[in-house]
A and B are shown apart, each in its own frame.
Chain A
Amino acid sequence: MSNGLKSEEILSVALSKGRLQDAALELLGRAGVEVDGSEAGSRKLIFQDRSGCFQFFMVKPVDVPTYVEYGVADLGVAGWDVLLESEADVHQPLDLGIGRCVLAVAGPRSTARKNYRELSAVRIATKYPRITTDHFTRQGIPVEIIYLSGSVELAPRLGLSERIVDLVATGRTLADNGLEVIEPICDVSARLIVNRASYQVKRRAVSRLIQQLADSLNR
């Protein structure tokens, strides 16, 4: 390489524990980055691929953008919802198409049809205060956010708030709690994200991985 830098060929990748974990590893496998099943399944938080070119961190989904923005991980796989909420300053070269669902406003079946535009203010329980505030204020509707870190669908049943903003995959969780989608906000799927400095300093290795992933997505 003509560049004065010795290229560091090892890339570190932050992956989301939980919902996206298996799909992300499967996708990486198809792109030629193979991880021993025993490594990935062993609940280790840090492990390598077979070639030793990649190191993986398993972190909480909401933390993936943070690790990548600060360059602790060169790359990451994060849901679009998490990314939007974090406002992390990172490159987003690929939509990986996994973990597809919808971020939506939902409410009890009985009142779902009632137009909340006519309320003086809407009260929403959510894990996504930033996206929710943005969604409502953009339409000129005052919103009161009740931040919850999980089990958001319980909020209407327990009388905390009539409506919620949350991810909807099949709609079953909503239905089980007597809720339905009032209004979709945006489609969600997992993105590949890249630290801005790593994108430049480890450009070869990063571009190669992006290309491999893109090829395997198009197959």
Chain B
Amino acid sequence: MKTLTQVPLGTQVLFGPAVKRRRRLERLVFNIFSRWKYEEIIPPIFDYYDVFSRGMGAELEEALYRFVDREGNLLALRPEFTSLVAKTVATRLQDRPKPLRLCYCGDVLRYEAPRGGRQRESFQLGIENIGGERIACDAEVIQVAMEALQRVGIDRFQFNLGEMGFFAGLVERFGLSAQDLSRIRRLIDLKDPVGLQAEMERLQLSPRRREVLHALLHLTGNSETIDAARRLVRNEKSLSALDNLAGLYAELRRRKLADHLTIDLSEVRGLDYYTGIIFKIYVPGLGFEVGSGGRYDNLLKNFGCDLPSVGFTFFLERLMALPLKLR
């Protein structure tokens, strides 16, 4: 039988030095997590489809491995950990003292073309910080991520920090259909000013709105970017997003971590469950981000418990592609 010897697309086997390297990497990162009092949680590899489908965004929802059990329930293999951690906290751990600090590592499964060092089955390592004070917890999560990178010998890295509320506030009053909005988002994501211009003309947006969206493409840089953004908008939601970002920036500067930060308000891609800050982690020499994270204040509500949360995850295969010092 052919299926006995060939491998399904998107799977991988590790052995030899690769296993040693990966286990050492996990252990070093987990050392940092436990130093910050993050407790490991091992969630199931599958759960009901609905647990994952809420708030993931259409693109990832399509990537879910779905199946039906004998009773006819629709199930899915986990494509990420955050939903499972959120569900567990909301249903089992809600009475624990806050903030709850949890960490995890394990496989996630996504039905997508193997690309960028990521197979259909890939490995994630991350933390969730639930129910704490906003800016302090955002800063803590970012600090943990930075310390973990340094612990494995990566000293040069860049955290691109954005705020979902800024763009949401901007387009809220445009009255665009979901389809038009996703087209605008896609053009901003491509950083394509010409395409954006054409689309805005098609939608007959006012000159002021065009100017604002156009400026959004270039809202990337140091802390002055926040001031530049403030001059651009008047709506309350965007302004409060900027206040939040400025607060976090100041807190990270106080912790002497601001050197690694780039403010990036042009980042409009991310899981739909993110509500506040989002960040992506870049390391020079690697063409893909090695991790990402953000705040998801509405996710736990889905599971019947209203707690604000923030977290991040590393994409392990991508970290492994870097020259690490695993001592």
Contacts and interface: CB of A to CB of B under 8 A. Distances in A.
Interface in B145-162: 156-158, 160
Contact of A203 (B157, B190, B220): B220
Contacts of A93: 190-193
A194 interface: yes
Interface stretch (A35-43, A66-74, A107-115): A66-74
Interface stretch (B16-24, B78-86, B283-291): B283-291
A155 to B, nearest CB: 28
B260 interface: yes
Interface in A56-82: 69-72
A201 B260 CA distance: 11
A139 to B, nearest CB: 18
B259 A201 contact: no
Q: Tell me what chain A mostly uses at the interface: helix, strand, loop, or mixed.
A: mixed
B191 A197 contact: no
Contacts of A71: 285-288
Interface string A183-212: 000000000001111111101000000000
B262 A4 contact: no
Nearest to B113: A87
A72 B287 contact: yes
B259 A200 contact: no
A100 interface: no
B46 interface: no
A31 to B, nearest CB: 16
Interface residues of A, number: 25
A196 B288 contact: yes
Contacts of A198: 287
A5 B158 contact: yes
A196 B282 CA distance: 10
Contacts of B222: 2-3
A136 B144 CA distance: 50
A34 interface: no
A201 B280 CA distance: 11
Nearest to B224: A2
B259 A196 contact: no
Nearest to B189: A91
B262 A197 contact: no
Interface string A136-168: 000000000000000000000000000000000
B138 to A, nearest CB: 19
18 contacts: A3-B158, A3-B222, A3-B260, A5-B156, A5-B157, A6-B156, A71-B285, A71-B287, A89-B116, A92-B190, A92-B191, A95-B194, A197-B289, A199-B191, A200-B160, A200-B262, A200-B282, A203-B221
Interface of A: 2-6, 8, 69-72, 89, 91-95, 194-201, 203
